[in-house]
Structure 1
Amino acid sequence: MNYQVLKDNQLFLLTDLYGNIPLDHPYGLGLYKEDTRFLSEMNVTINGEAPILLQSNIDQNDRPVTMLTNPHIEKNGEVELWRESIEIMRTRYISNDILYETVQVKNYNPKPLQFSLEFSFQADFADMFVVRGFQNGELGQKLETISSQDSLVFGYMGADNIKRETIISWEKGKEVKSKKEDLLVPFTLNHSETDEVTFTITPFIYGVTAEVIPKTQAIEESLQRKEEWNSKSTKIETDHPLLQKVVQRSLRDMHTLVTDVGHGPFLVAGLPWFGVPFGRDSLIAALQMLPFNSEIAKGTLRTLAQYQGTKKDAWRDEEPGKIMHEIRYGELARTGQIPFTPYYGTVDATPLFVVLAVEYAKWTKDLSFIEELRPNLEKAIKWIEEYGDRDGDGFVEYHQEASKGIANQGWKDSEDSIVHRSGNFAESPIALAEVQGYVYHALTGMADIYQSLNLPEKSEELKRKTKKLKSEYDTAFWMDEHDYYAIALDHNKQQVGTITSNPGHLLLADLIPQEKLESVVHRLLSKEMFSGYGIRTMAEGEAAYNPMSYHDGSVWPHDNSLILLGLGKQHRQTEAVRVIEGLLQAASHFEYNRLPELFCGYSMEKREVVPYPVACSPQAWAAGTALTFIQTMLGIYPELNERQMKLQPQLLPDMNELVVKDISLGDGQLSLKVYRVKQSYEIEVLKNTTGFEVFLQSTQTTSS
């Protein structure tokens, strides 16, 4: 990445590798909270000259460190600073929605030196949609900047009549000279002497802000939160170094993306552009996290339940029972100039809401929470049956009604993503292949939940509906000439026959008949679909195939993760391991072994991984992909009404051991070790307080 990103709760910072926010940077660098840019410039110079970058590191996510030094500086024939005389260390930290920036300097010159650091700040309070060039509209006005001996205050009165401020402060008694938006800090240092200055940067919105606390206290509180996260999360140990690194990176990224807007912890979609509650993205990321931290699922379900649709509102694509797509908090949203308050233009979030609740119940057996959530789940099912099925044909379709909304409302939401083999775009209403799988998964799971809640009539009703859906789906979507499923049905109920990854999501839903399973799996792993680094979104050779595109030939890790979970559930671990190996190879080509939102779909045979130029990183469901590697390799899929845990493990070819500690299951924890013995596997249960009987499915080797 050519930028650094730092986040805690709702505040995130996006800088270049120098730690700067250059004014008018094309990538929209800045300090953001609630879709507003609270810093649009933050630059440092030494004696008026730009420093030289030595190193930029953000490996641990929470405390980026940038090392700089001075260039050779002469003025009027006199040497002010020999090159590389001063070491400049910038360390940034965010806690409780406050940014702390510490700049430490050290003199390596043999003689005492006098010099200054100059800091330039600006705050434009631009709405995220304006920064990204998506929208313009009626906006507010900047207020006069106020400077004092220990602070600099930028202000803005929005068109929404909300005052926003950015307050930059520093230690009392520190010599800081201010000139409008620029600050100058003089230093006098002997040889090997160090000094530093810390700026505390606090965004204020309509009078509500976090308590400003000293940096040392903020760091301590942040470390406590990290320790709590680690203690509650499943841990893995393996003899496969790359897998270990990728999983550890994923867990760190997930922790970075955790946010709480008042209803429990959940994962925002990704940085830098999607640091807000999402429907589909947050739900899938929580699903990936279930074996590692089920509290995320609970917080996600509670958060989305709070925003569940209550009325018919075409401006926001809202309908009763519908789960939102995305919520925004900026000026354009608050003044009603964009429909994201929240916006409901997604066809898959509502069934996925039910799917996550079902899978949460399987892992935790927490039926009391399901009872609490039941009114929301039943409203979601009602939406599926009444509003989702727009024409009564038994399939859930989407159609954009909001004038500033999204045209394609599945996860492939770009305008060119649903395309016929002729190259013509499909017209809505459109019924997507994977959405019918989510609906089937949701309804079959709810049938089991109703059975557990002693509501047999409701259970039987859903079972009848799912049986009908399975039969009708196969008739409508199966393409005999391709031995595969269509990506969608268009407005004329014609198959959109382009070969894509979407039907791979059906594996987890159990919607594919056994006699067609082999054909689907074979297609997904064919050379047209599998690049070697992952399964492409669209098969090579299709009319719209483009390996550089967003959705028509690229590789999305989260897309692969749902396919992987399905392959594992269908006992196709051999194919799953091939995909995992490819994704691990891809991760090794990216900074910090981090899988990005997506990458280009070029074949491994032809070139190394080609990054997609504006992929979000970290991205929640991309980070969660590595976690599904573990579940898939273990073959661990709990069922609601069983007290047995059947494992069908298959490790990577160059891997002999996997230790998984403290998996939360039921009301206890499970720790186990899987190891290779010649051509088979054995397990050793290290801890089991779950009440589950654990055994290998193939050998029935009991270890309870």
Structure 2
Amino acid sequence: MDYRVIKEGDLFFLTDVNGDINGNDDAGHGLYTKDTRFLSRMELFIDGEKPTLLASNADKSYFASIRLMKVSKDEGAIEILRERYIYDGILYERVSLTNYFPRAVSCDFAAAFDADFQDMFIVRKYRTGDVGEIIGREIGERGMSIRYQGKDDILRETQIEWDWQEGTKAGADGCVHFAVSLDPKESKQVCFTVRPLLNEQKSSVLPFDEGLRKLEQSYDLWYNEGAQANSDVPVFDDFYRRGVQDLRLLMTDVGCGEMPVAGLPWFAVPFGRDSLITSLFMLPLNPAQVKSTLRTLAAYQGEKVDPERDEEPGKIMHEIRFGELVNTNQSPFAPYYGSADSTPLFLVLIGEYVRWTGDASLVEELKSNIVRALEWIDSYAGRAETGFLTYSQEAEKGFPNQGWKDSPNSIVHESGEYASSPIALSEVQGYVYQAKKSLSPIFTKLGDTRLAMRLDKEAFELKERFEKAFWMEDERFYAVALDKNGRQVRSVTSNPGHLLMSGLPDTSRAELVAKRLTAKDMFNGYGIRTMSTDSTGYYPMSYHNGSVWPHDNGMILLGLSRTGMKRQAGQVISGLLKASESFEYQRLPELFCGYDSSVGSPVPYPTTCSPQAWAAATSIVFVQAMLGLVPDALEQTIVLNPLLPEAFNELTVTNISIGSGHLAVRITRAAESSESVNVDVISNTTGFNLIVMP
């Protein structure tokens, strides 16, 4: 990556690889919270010059270490080590200067700061708007502050402090100079803290090492509370730990408990689709974590008809923002509701959560939200003659396509013509089917048999309509969508792969879908492409029309596992695991280009986000798929139908939370070159009946 980013809670810090924000770049570097940039410049200088980069390390998701130097004619050097993290709403950066000259040296060490308080949409040049102004700057020997009065009547302030014990010289330009004298091999340190304040909210500054210790303890607790996986393949073990660590990084509480935000740097906010799919993937890690996702999205459920935000009663939001433009109604993201899939996915996650935990009390708590979501699905689908859930853009500044492939060119006919809305996406119908099928037995358990029977009947009728309308007999595959005239959009894409997870296709068609998804035109050696190389709209460096998205593969992988397609599941796992080795810290990005593996390493997509929550959570899907794990707390059963991809001979997974207990399992290859797998149940405190498939 050409940037460094760390995050904790609602605060994240984005810089260049040197650790600087130079105040003039177009990369949007800065310190952000509530979609506002609270620090727009932070640069270090030695004797007026920028030091040279030696190494830039962010192996720990929450901590960055950057090593710089200033050299003088091979006589020696001054090393500058920058170490940083965020804790309790404060950025900590410790700078250590070490003299590697054979004599004592003196230098002018300087740090320059500024804050512009720009809304993130303005930083990214997505919007312009009527905004506030800087109302004060104060600077002293131990700190400075910059204050901003927004048009939304919120007072924002950035407080910068340092702990240098000797004299400093601070200028009105925000540049602080430290006179540093160092004997040979001597080191001196200065710790900077940057604290964004909203309406005078304030937390206490801790000593650098104490704050770091508390932060690391929180990561240890996160890891120890979740499922742990170890294998005889070190690449997988590192990949899994990276995913678990990044998920902890991306958790944020906006009022209803911690939930995963979409990704860094630009999507560090709650989403509908992204947060729901990430939470769905996280169930084997720690199902209790997903409750906050459901509660947060329920709290922001649509209440009224508002075309400017694509809002309707019962609809689950797409994305929420908290910046000045949103607060002053200059942007529709407060929240914005333009997604067709968030609402059924909300219901899918509730159903899956209960299957993992047996906790029907959450369904009772959210029953009014569930009923309103179902009403929105039924009423909106009822507007279409086909009876399928469709979408069309209402908001002027909203999205023309409102499935997960939301770029304007993503739904394209064989002729190259873009599909006209209202559009019915294949995978969205699958989510609706899965939602109703999974909620039906839950409502039976809760005594609402009338609703349960209705949902079951509606799911059956949807399946029949879907099979007739979407199946392309000549392609032996499903159409990606139906357009406004009910015409099939006949591009071969990855979207129908999500149907395998939903359980909608019968066995014969599920097998055909799995076969096509892993054929050469769809599988590039590293993963399943978003679009077939044979389709009209395909190009490998596209955002949605031929690229490879790890989360898309994760959704498909869940379906391959549930339908017993072990060969194809192993192929996908092996491909993505191989791809992970080409990315920094084995962190699968949001997406990468769809070029065939014969060209060499995966080709990065130029503007991908990393870390990305649903890409990180794909590592958890690997574990679930390899175990072939399907819990059902309602029936008190656990099914294991395991597989070991090539290169694996052993996998051990412990501390899997199911129901009110835990499961620990080891799977081993039965014999060299054998596809058979032995299952050793290390412990099972769930009390559920364990079924091991051959």
TM-score scaled by structure 2?
0.98
> Cα distance, 1:543 vs. partner?
1.3
CA distance in 1, matches of 2:504, 2:169: 68
CA gap of 1:113–1:389, structure 2 versus 1, over 3 A, is farther
CA distance in 2, matches of 1:664, 1:211: 36
Aligned to 1:555: 548
Letter aligned with residue 387 of structure 2: G
Aligned to 2:117: 125
Aligned to 1:112: 104
1:520 to 510, 513, 521: 513
CA distance in 2, matches of 1:390, 1:219: 55
Give 4+ residue runs of structure 1 displaced > 6 Å after superposition.
none
CA gap of 1:120–1:221, structure 2 versus 1, over 3 A, is same
Q: Is the 8 A contact 1:666 1:690 kept in 2?
A: yes
Please say if 1:305 is aligned against 2:298: yes
> Cα distance, 1:377 vs. partner?
1.1
3-state SS, counterpart of residue 401 of structure 1? coil
> Cα distance, 1:175 vs. partner?
2.8
Aligned to 2:37: 37
Letter aligned with residue 114 of structure 1: S
3-state SS, counterpart of residue 179 of structure 2? strand
Please say if 1:493 is aligned against 2:486: yes
Q: Is the 8 A contact 1:361 1:367 kept in 2?
A: yes
Please say if 1:610 is aligned against 2:603: yes
Letter aligned with residue 647 of structure 1: L
1:94 to 79, 86, 106: 86
Q: Is the 8 A contact 1:235 1:660 kept in 2?
A: yes
3-state SS, counterpart of residue 295 of structure 1? helix
Q: C-alpha offsets along residues 563-621 of structure 1, whole Å, 9 cap, x if unaligned?
A: 00000000001111001111111110000011000000000123321000110000000
Using the aligned pairs only, state the percent identity: 46
2:190 to 194, 197, 219: 197
Q: C-alpha offsets along residues 311-366 of structure 1, whole Å, 9 cap, x if unaligned?
A: 11111111111100000011110110010001111110000000001000000111
CA distance in 2, matches of 1:392, 1:308: 26
CA distance in 2, matches of 1:214, 1:328: 32
> Cα distance, 1:221 vs. partner?
2.4
Aligned to 1:26: 26
Out of 529-538 and 605-614, give the one that drifted further: 605-614
2:681 to 669, 675, 685: 685
Aligned to 2:415: 422
Aligned to 1:247: 240
Q: C-alpha offsets along residues 167-203 of structure 1, whole Å, 9 cap, x if unaligned?
A: 1011274432201110111111111111100111000
CA distance in 2, matches of 1:62, 1:524: 36
Letter aligned with residue 339 of structure 2: T
Aligned to 1:69: 69
Letter aligned with residue 158 of structure 1: G
Q: C-alpha offsets along residues 362-392 of structure 1, whole Å, 9 cap, x if unaligned?
A: 0011111221122111111111111354325
Q: Is the 8 A contact 1:449 1:640 kept in 2?
A: no
Aligned to 2:274: 281
Aligned to 1:342: 335
2:500 to 483, 486, 507: 507
CA distance in 2, matches of 1:662, 1:338: 44
Q: Is the 8 A contact 1:69 1:84 kept in 2?
A: no
> Cα distance, 1:25 vs. partner?
1.5
3-state SS, counterpart of residue 190 of structure 2? strand
RMSD (Å), alpha carbons: 1.3
Aligned to 2:212: 219
Out of 110-119 and 331-340, give the one that drifted further: 110-119
Aligned to 1:448: 441
Q: C-alpha offsets along residues 213-254 of structure 1, whole Å, 9 cap, x if unaligned?
A: 333332232123212211211101100111111111101110
Q: Is the 8 A contact 1:265 1:295 kept in 2?
A: no
Q: C-alpha offsets along residues 532-568 of structure 1, whole Å, 9 cap, x if unaligned?
A: 1100001002111010010000000000000000000
Aligned to 2:128: 136
Q: Is the 8 A contact 2:75 2:101 kept in 1?
A: no
CA distance in 1, matches of 2:348, 2:309: 24
Letter aligned with residue 260 of structure 1: D
CA distance in 2, matches of 1:13, 1:84: 32
> Cα distance, 1:491 vs. partner?
0.9
Q: C-alpha offsets along residues 480-519 of structure 1, whole Å, 9 cap, x if unaligned?
A: 1211111111111111111100000000101112221222
3-state SS, counterpart of residue 341 of structure 1? coil
3-state SS, counterpart of residue 59 of structure 2? coil
Q: C-alpha offsets along residues 429-482 of structure 1, whole Å, 9 cap, x if unaligned?
A: 110000000000000011011122122221111111111000000111111121
Q: Is the 8 A contact 2:437 2:455 kept in 1?
A: yes
Out of 282-291 and 142-151, give the one that drifted further: 142-151
CA distance in 2, matches of 1:295, 1:612: 34
CA distance in 1, matches of 2:487, 2:341: 21
Letter aligned with residue 45 of structure 2: T
Letter aligned with residue 61 of structure 1: S
CA gap of 1:109–1:84, structure 2 versus 1, over 3 A, is closer
Q: Is the 8 A contact 2:219 2:245 kept in 1?
A: no
Q: Is the 8 A contact 1:4 1:58 kept in 2?
A: yes
CA distance in 2, matches of 1:549, 1:296: 34
Q: 1:78-477 alignment to 2 at 5 Å?
A: 84-171=76-163, 173-180=165-172, 181-391=174-384, 393-477=386-470
CA distance in 2, matches of 1:529, 1:231: 38
3-state SS, counterpart of residue 599 of structure 2? coil
CA distance in 1, matches of 2:164, 2:647: 58
CA distance in 1, matches of 2:76, 2:373: 63
Q: Any stretches of 5+ residues in structure 1 without a counterpart?
A: 74-81, 699-704
3-state SS, counterpart of residue 353 of structure 2? helix
Q: Any stretches of 5+ residues in structure 2 without a counterpart?
A: none
Q: Is the 8 A contact 1:86 1:107 kept in 2?
A: yes
Letter aligned with residue 591 of structure 1: E
Q: C-alpha offsets along residues 670-691 of structure 1, whole Å, 9 cap, x if unaligned?
A: 1111111123222222221111
Aligned to 1:478: 471
Letter aligned with residue 602 of structure 2: V
CA distance in 2, matches of 1:566, 1:587: 22
Letter aligned with residue 167 of structure 2: E
Q: Is the 8 A contact 1:70 1:83 kept in 2?
A: no
Letter aligned with residue 348 of structure 2: V
CA distance in 1, matches of 2:258, 2:144: 33
Q: C-alpha offsets along residues 271-307 of structure 1, whole Å, 9 cap, x if unaligned?
A: 0000001000000000000000112211100111110
Please say if 1:11 is aligned against 2:11: yes
CA distance in 2, matches of 1:256, 1:63: 10
CA distance in 1, matches of 2:686, 2:620: 21
Letter aligned with residue 601 of structure 1: G
CA distance in 1, matches of 2:157, 2:381: 43
Out of 505-514 and 369-378, give the one that drifted further: 369-378
CA distance in 2, matches of 1:513, 1:154: 63
3-state SS, counterpart of residue 614 of structure 1? coil
CA distance in 2, matches of 1:672, 1:518: 28
> Cα distance, 1:71 vs. partner?
3.1
CA gap of 1:288–1:84, structure 2 versus 1, over 3 A, is farther
Q: Is the 8 A contact 2:51 2:70 kept in 1?
A: yes
